[in-house]
Structure 1
Amino acid sequence: MSFQGYLKTIKSKTGKGPDDFRKLAAEKGFTENGQIKTSVKAGDIVKWLQADFELGQGHAMAIYALLKGIKDETSD
């Protein structure tokens, strides 16, 4: 699945897009100034997204990649 496919499925399932997840991650204390804090691991983000949004591992990792800056809304 392409990165865009992941984002589309996540939006369909949760009603939330990339900016929503950036805001929620900041509210949860996972990010600061738009960057994931060094103390936060991928597993922390995955557990949060699985618990709160019932996302699977791959979809949760897509959001992690987005928050980490590895991917963005224009990535394939």
Structure 2
Amino acid sequence: MSFQAYLDAVETKTGLTPRELVERAHEQGFGPGTKATPIVEWLAADYGLGRGHAMAMVHVITKGDRISSKHVGTDGAHSDASDRLWLDGKATKPADW
């Protein structure tokens, strides 16, 4: 599953776009420098996210919308089309994203 697919699944599970969840995380005091465990626990308790989906959100909450280009354009299971992640919701994602 690509990184972007994880974020799209988070939106399906929570009803919130990744950007909305990032904003809520910041309201909770989470951001750069926050360890993963408290964020994962918060996402599980408040939104029912499992570890994999929560860890995708941990990355976005603590590091932003950029990912390593390591898997960009590869044929592997974790291949993404871009080194940027779309955080504004599946419905608004450009077709070529």
Coarse TM-score class (shorter-chain normalised): 0.7 to 0.9
Q: Which of 22, 27, 42 lines up with 2:36 in the alignment? A: 42
Q: Distance in 2 between matches of 1:18 and 1:65?
A: 11
Letter in 2 for 1:73: L
Preserved contact between residue 11 and residue 17 of structure 1 (Cα < 8 Å)? yes
Greater per-residue strand proportion: 1
TM-score (norm 1): 0.78
Q: Distance in 1 between matches of 2:4 and 2:22?
A: 17
Q: Which of 61, 65, 72 lines up with 1:67 in the alignment? A: 61
Q: CA deviation at 1:41?
A: 1.0
TM-score (norm 2): 0.63
State the percentage of identical aligned residues: 43
Q: Distance in 2 between matches of 1:8 and 1:26?
A: 20
In structure 2, list runs of 5 or more residues that go unmatched.
Answer: 68-83, 87-97
Letter in 1 for 2:43: L
Residue equivalent to 1:2: 2
Give 4+ residue runs of structure 1 displaced > 2 Å after superposition.
Answer: none
Structure showing greater Rg: 2
In structure 1, list runs of 5 or more residues that go unmatched.
Answer: none
Aligned residue pair count: 68
The alignment's C-alpha RMSD in Å is 1.5
SS of aligned partner of 1:67: helix
